[in-house]
Amino acid sequence: MGAVEHGANVCISKRAVEGRSKGKEMAKYTTLKDVAQKAGTTIGTVSYVLNGNGERYISEETRRKVMEAAEELHYIRDKGASSLKGGHRRLIGILIPQFENQFFTRIVMAAEAVFVKHGYDMIITNTLDDPEREKSIIRRMLEQRVDGIIVTPTAKGAENTELARSVGMKMVVVDRPLEGVNDYYWVTTNNYGCGFKGIEYLMSMGHRKIGYIGWNSGILDLAAREKAALDAAGDKAMVYVENGEFSAAEGGRLTRKILEEHPDITALFYGFNIQAQGGVNELRRMGLTIGRDISVMLIGTPMWTYTGLNDFSRLDMGDFELGKTAAQVLLDQIQGKPMQPKQYIHDCSVIEGDSVLKIN
Amino acid sequence: MGAVEHGANVCISKRAVEGRSKGKEMAKYTTLKDVAQKAGTTIGTVSYVLNGNGERYISEETRRKVMEAAEELHYIRDKGASSLKGGHRRLIGILIPQFENQFFTRIVMAAEAVFVKHGYDMIITNTLDDPEREKSIIRRMLEQRVDGIIVTPTAKGAENTELARSVGMKMVVVDRPLEGVNDYYWVTTNNYGCGFKGIEYLMSMGHRKIGYIGWNSGILDLAAREKAALDAAGDKAMVYVENGEFSAAEGGRLTRKILEEHPDITALFYGFNIQAQGGVNELRRMGLTIGRDISVMLIGTPMWTYTGLNDFSRLDMGDFELGKTAAQVLLDQIQGKPMQPKQYIHDCSVIEGDSVLKIN
DNA sequence: AAGCTGTAAGCAAACGTTTGCATATGACTT
DNA sequence: AAGTCATATGCAAACGTTTGCTTACAGCTT
């Protein structure tokens, strides 16, 4: 086929033409009434046949006629209308910082698998770490009458989720905490443990001068990674710290800076994978071979590490596990299982690769 | 803060306790009626104050009382209920193959920016290229009464979108076509042009023995990349083709295979970035330096190429542009602008990097 | 004094669904 | 023959909104 120019198609359906004359026209759906009419019965009966879950007697004859009519008329139930009378909308709201970060897309994919299996749809949005945006998104999700929310909050998350909590919305917080709030469901990684294990591993490989590069997030729980790194080093090793913004470019800049200031550093520990990406680029541009001239330890499993060059040593955060747990905990709440707000803390595990050289 | 063990929190809100006794309990929302009661007025008036767009006289006094009552009672309008009476739900459905593919997340992010600005929410789902899943997702989106759908269809997309088209749902197809259907809005890349330009560029750099690695998608428009590659080569160059599945591992396997069978190949052209990822890994494992021992050309701008090692020569597909256009075209339809089904074809452009060596 | 006009707010129908209640028939018990 | 089932269906209220229609009053013009 010659795909370059097909030429715009001029065929327009009859419906479109009618619509245009009236200005904005909307999709037209068949209603229960239409189906009832065609099947020669009443709305109530049709409702029972198509969506009913009570125990009501319906003859085979009627059932068949209703089914046929619904099929022919392309009946599609209006979930908004049905949720008016009690019942769930089967809709979940998800707020993550950014789609571009694999850590979050993995969480979402894992959660999605659970939700799809249970017949739930998801409204997914990037907050881009903007609290204003987070606030308005949450409000909009409530307006859509979602059955529950999964959120990785911004720094103002506690305040922004207040409205949701005030109406009793089911909620699961993932990764970052809701600071200042205490009775909520929280699925997260053991950030402190993560930082601790990272330094522990580097020390076990003989490193004593280590650079830690992190993010000034304003989120206490994330800062725990840094604190843990220092605690793990104790007086057995020296950990130099550089914090900056959450971007690849910044990671590169901090990497150059820390190595200039402390040329005796033998290993770098990156707390955040976006920064690590820029950092690793920078190291390679500087002509250093990772795992030989300099050792590198990461937190997380970003896509850019799949380059065939290094099989990076890192702390696996169990991304998929987090998403799966979050979805399961939210569903349990929605389905009314007796349970209490609680923290589900997943431990990190060290994955040994080739980016850390054993010295001495 | 010591983040390791906080100990599960035992504080439970009163609401939670009440809820538990009744088994599954739902979020309880304030209604217009509640607000009207508190403000000492009627439902209709409240509706006008809070959401009305008609021209109705409301005194400042009443407006103030209503606003206050709504605020105090945390009123949140039910969009499902409001959309019953005409009106839009301000909800868009988006179907993409996979979140893990940056090409699609970029499209979604660009579209999201447009939708958020106009106050629309999005239901986003991965089809995972599974037609069954695609079909049920589309049905569910219709049940949620989305105002429009953006879809990158699977191979059975034409059939699966039939229901949506039959109810007059606004729709924009992105990237892959709807085969066999002809009056639809399609925002896509010029796949043929992409393939053509890639080979053209390689030839301009002196390459005459080129390997093309692609995907047996069953989607004709994607196969145009391969056809274009062959057309561009004509009798001036030799293009060897290997097709396989859509995975990184397969990309690696095909790379090894094609080089074994045709050791005189000087450049590889990857039609799909997932395969390229595995292919590039394989090349590096084989000890080849890209841009020196072997030349590589990609289509797209995947995240894994940001490694600081190669600045890959590639065909930019204008990912963000596609998403932006798709969202804009869908909104135009929803807002009833007079328009006709049409194809919006974005051209690819060659981005020159360092992965293609100039020879002879 | 009748008729406008401008301002303000109440009333109730309608949207598409679910579901408790009532009705209707035939068959089986006592 | 009256009573009780089991089966099958109809009816209408309710859910939370929106919006056209009505009412009410006050200040104008003729």
Residues A125-151 pLDDT 10s: 999 999 999 999 999 999 999 999 999
Strands A170-174 and A148-151: parallel
Say whether both B166 and B206 belong to one domain. no
CA of A32 to C1' of D4 (A): 35
- What are the pLDDT digits (tens) for A180-206? 998 999 999 999 999 999 999 999 999
What is the pLDDT at residue B220? 80
Q: What is the CATH number of the domain that holds B179?
A: 3.40.50.2300
Q: Which residue is nearest to nucleotide C13 (CA to C1')?
A: B85
CA of A18 to C1' of C5 (A): 39
Q: What is the CATH number of the domain that holds A26?
A: 1.10.260.40
Angle at B187 between CA B331 and CA A78, to 5 degrees: 45
Contact A125, A137 (CB under 8 A): yes
Closest-CA residue to B49 (of B30, B24, B28, B71): B71
Q: Pick the last residue of a domain from B24, B50, B77.
A: B77
Record: contact A79-B281, CB cut-off 8 A:
no
| pLDDT-based confidence at residue A263 (cuts at 50, 70, 90) | very high
Instruction: List the 253-292 stretch of A: residues with Cβ below 8 A of B.
Output: 277, 280-285
What is the pLDDT at residue B24? 52
Q: Is A248 within a domain?
A: yes
| H helix intervals, chain A | 14-21, 32-39, 43-51, 60-72, 79-84, 102-117, 131-143, 157-160, 162-166, 191-204, 220-233, 248-261, 273-285, 319-334
Q: Is B155 within a domain?
A: yes
Say whether both B59 and B21 belong to one domain. yes
Cα–Cα distance between B253 and A295 in angstroms, integer? 30
Record: contact B24-A108, CB cut-off 8 A:
no
Q: Pick the last residue of a domain from A22, A48, A77.
A: A77
Measure CB to CB from residue A183 to each of B11, B122, B277 and give the nearest one.
Answer: B11
Q: Is A356 within a domain?
A: no
Q: Pick the last residue of a domain from A55, A77, A99.
A: A77
Q: Is B83 within a domain?
A: no
Reduce the DSSP state of residue B275 to 3 states and report it: helix
Record: contact A248-B123, CB cut-off 8 A:
no
Cα–Cα distance between B169 and A53 in angstroms, integer? 29
Distance from CA of B156 to the nearest CA of A (A): 19
Measure CB to CB from residue B24 to each of A102, A282, A335 and give the nearest one.
Answer: A335
- The tokens of A223 are what? 């800062």
Say whether both A259 and A312 belong to one domain. yes
Say whether both B23 and B95 belong to one domain. no
What is the pLDDT at residue B219? 81
CA of B114 to C1' of C2 (A): 58
Q: Is A123 within a domain?
A: yes
Say whether both A148 and A102 belong to one domain. yes
Reduce the DSSP state of residue B158 to 3 states and report it: helix
State the nucleotide closest to B45 in CA–C1' terms: C9
What is the pLDDT at residue B12? 30
Say whether both A196 and A268 belong to one domain. yes
Q: Which of A73, A303, A355 to mutate to test the interface with B (most CBs of B within 10 A)?
A: A303
Say whether both A132 and A173 belong to one domain. yes
Cα–Cα distance between A349 and A246 in angstroms, integer? 23
Say whether both B261 and B212 belong to one domain. yes
**Predicted structure pTM score:** 0.85
Q: How many separate domains does chain A show?
A: 3
Count of other CB atoms within 10 angstroms of residue B278:
22
On strand D, nucleotides with any atom < 7 Å from a protein CB are: 7-12, 14-20
Q: Is A154 within a domain?
A: yes
Say whether both A213 and A309 belong to one domain. yes
- The tokens of A315 are what? 């702390």
- What are the pLDDT digits (tens) for B121-148? 999 999 999 999 999 999 999 999 999 9
| pLDDT-based confidence at residue A307 (cuts at 50, 70, 90) | low
| pLDDT-based confidence at residue B314 (cuts at 50, 70, 90) | very high
Partner B contacted by A218 (CB < 8 A): no
Count of other CB atoms within 10 angstroms of residue B167:
16
What is the pLDDT at residue B295? 98
Nearest CA in chain B to A276: B307
What is the pLDDT at residue A25? 64
What is the pLDDT at residue A207? 98
- The tokens of A356 are what? 């850390």
Residue keyed to tokens 């990764």: A175
Dihedral sign from CA coordinates of A176, A178, A179, A183: negative
Distance from CA of A354 to the nearest CA of B (A): 14
Dihedral sign from CA coordinates of A285, A291, A294, A295: positive
- What are the pLDDT digits (tens) for B12-48? 333 333 333 334 566 789 999 999 999 999 999 999 9
Q: How does the average pLDDT of chain A come out, rounded?
A: 89
Q: A169: domain range?
A: 91-189+320-346
What is the pLDDT at residue B287? 87
Q: Is B46 within a domain?
A: yes
Q: How does the average pLDDT of chain B come out, rounded?
A: 89
Q: Is B240 within a domain?
A: yes
Say whether both A326 and A313 belong to one domain. no
Cα–Cα distance between B274 and B100 in angstroms, integer? 10
Instruction: Write the CB contacts of B66 (distance below 8 Å, at least 6 apart in sequence).
Output: B35, B36, B39, B41, B45, B46, B49, B50
Say whether both B65 and B176 belong to one domain. no
- What are the pLDDT digits (tens) for A22-74? 345 667 899 999 999 999 999 999 999 998 777 889 999 999 999 999 999 99
Closest-CA residue to B342 (of B332, B352, B350, B353): B332
Say whether both A65 and A143 belong to one domain. no
